[in-house]
Structures are given as structure tokens and as C-alpha cells.
A and B are shown apart, each in its own frame.
Chain A
């Protein structure tokens, strides 16, 4: 995993925006990321925080829907970027039990999201 692309974000910078097309998931290596969702009233609400070892934007690997939320770096943050190609490559090297579970769970999630 050391050869996967990484990206550094300054505190307060935008990582991805709600409505953007999604093409990769992000694994937090260092720092803290806030997941923010717009509300009808206008002001934005922080839905959750993701710290080191946590992942966000992972639906981009299983369907083609736009981003459902915005992600911002809450402090200086480093993320590993997991593109669909990287995901497919990692899946091929994965234990068949985990691969079968992953395929099943992503299929169920796709169905639940109506994609």
C-alpha cells in the first residue's frame, strides 16, 4: 500500500464537494476530516469526523452517483487515494473469503441505493 498515491490537505481545505462526480475513496493516514452535509435551511451540518485509519467517499468505488456529502480537512491531513483501478487490483490480491464478502456487501449496498 506504500505505492498508493497520497495527497496532503491543509487545515480547512476542501477535499471533495457534495454533488461532485465520485471516482475514488479516501483513507485517512494522518489528521482529521469533517464530513459535512448541506441542509435545506442553508447552513451546513457536520455529519461525522474521520480520523487516521478511517475511510470516506467509499461509495464511489461501488456506484456512479455524485458525492452525497462534502469532506473538509479539519487539520493538516494526509489521505491515501483509492481509485477504482486500485480497488480492483487490491481485490484480486485479497483472500477469496474477503473478496466474496466484499462483492456481496457492495452488491447489497448498490441495491439499497437503487443504482
Chain B
């Protein structure tokens, strides 16, 4: 092993830094190193102390990811620098069975990835928009007339239904369902769908006669910050995305 590249470190000297690009592994020949990362309080958080004979930074030979932790010498230390050519040189002298096995395990590590972290939770915002679902085209027209050209969109029946299913029971938007009829089947379906999913969206069914569309929608606007009116799946999607931020 005398012919392998090595480097000496004084006590306290940094060997590698978290986030640095990694292209070699190290083996401690003499001395001791400390592996640490930065804790939430900004102070170093010691993960391990490695004596002579230990290896670290070896994942760089598998996958050239940035270093996941920092390392420093805590006493005068000598390390071998194990770059890929150096490792291959040593492997060339190893038993072919060991050589084949190490290569097989390295290849496996390259292909077997740890599972991806779960997606970040959707931030919950106060109710900023609301999907209004109307069943009847004439109601949509009445609603548009009643609300006027402000930042309101009204979503009409089936397209809204389809998207609500897609959004897993209306999690993304609060839903106000307006209808001419009591016991409107679609209103019941939407309510049930959302309740079954135990989502946090509020569901409100506003029953309207054609003559009371304006009062009904005024009540809706008093309760929600922003009422969005449109008739297409795509605009409901956009509103939902805006709501989720």
C-alpha cells in the first residue's frame, strides 16, 4: 500500500466539506477523523469518529453526488486518497472473484436507488377562491350577470365534477354548489364525494330560484374571498393550482 497516494492532515484540519463535489474515497491510515454535519442551530453535529482502518467518502465511487457530510482530522492524521483509478489498480491485483463481486455490488448500488422522499405537503392557505358549480347553462348566465365582470369564475356541471374527482374530492378548492332544485343529485354527489374523502374543503350548497341568483351569490362572496367563475375544466384546474400556490 506504500505506493498509494496519501495526504497528511493536522489536528482540526478539514478533509472534506458537506456539499463539495466528491470524486474519491479516503482510508484512515493513522490518526482519527470526525464526521459531522451542520445542525439546525448552525453548530456542528458530530455523526461519527473513525479510527485507523476506516473508510469514508466511498459513495463518491458509486455516484458523484456532493458530499453529504463534512470530515475533519481530530489529531494528526494520514489518509489514503482512493480515486477511481487507484481503486481499479488495487482491484487489478485482487482475486478475480472479489473483483467481480465488488463490481457487481457497485453496479447494484448505482441502480438500486433509495426510495424518493415523500412529496412536500400542499400548504394550506386560507380560503382565497371557491369553485362554483352550476348545473344549468341558464343559471351560469344569470350568475355571470349577477356577479358582473369582477374576478369571478363559475364552473359548470360535468367538467367541474370530473375535475373534482381528479383533485381527490375537492381538496384543492372549497366548493359552492348552486342549483335551482332542492335535492339536486349532483350537489349530493359532490358533497358525498368530498365528505367520504375526509378532505378539509368546505362544501356549501346554495339553492337558488332564478329570481334570487344575485342574493345567493352575494352571500357566497361574503363568505369567500374570491369567487371564480368559468365553465371549463382547464380554468378550474388553473384556479385550483393558484389556490394551492
Contacts and interface: CB of A to CB of B under 8 A. Distances in A.
A102 B58 CA distance: 10
A42 interface: no
B109 A58 contact: no
Contacts of B130: none
A91 B98 contact: yes
Interface residues of A, number: 32
Contacts of B78: none
A94 B105 CA distance: 16
Contact of A1 (B62, B82, B95): B95
A98 B97 contact: no
A106 interface: yes
Contacts of A112: 109, 112, 114
A95 interface: yes
Interface stretch (B10-18, B85-93, B179-187): B85-93
Interface string B93-124: 11111101111111011001010000000000
Interface in A24-78: 25, 27, 53-55, 58, 61-62
Given A55-B104, A109-B109, A101 B25 contact: yes
Interface in A65-115: 80, 82, 86-87, 90-91, 93-98, 100-102, 104-106, 108-109, 112-113
* Majority secondary structure of chain B interface residues (helix, strand, loop or mixed): helix
Given A55-B104, A106-B105, A112-B112, A101 B98 contact: no
A4 B100 CA distance: 15
A80 B104 CA distance: 15
B54 interface: yes
Given A1-B95, A61-B101, A101 B61 contact: yes
Contacts of A53: 96, 100
A1 B90 CA distance: 18
B179 to A, nearest CB: 45
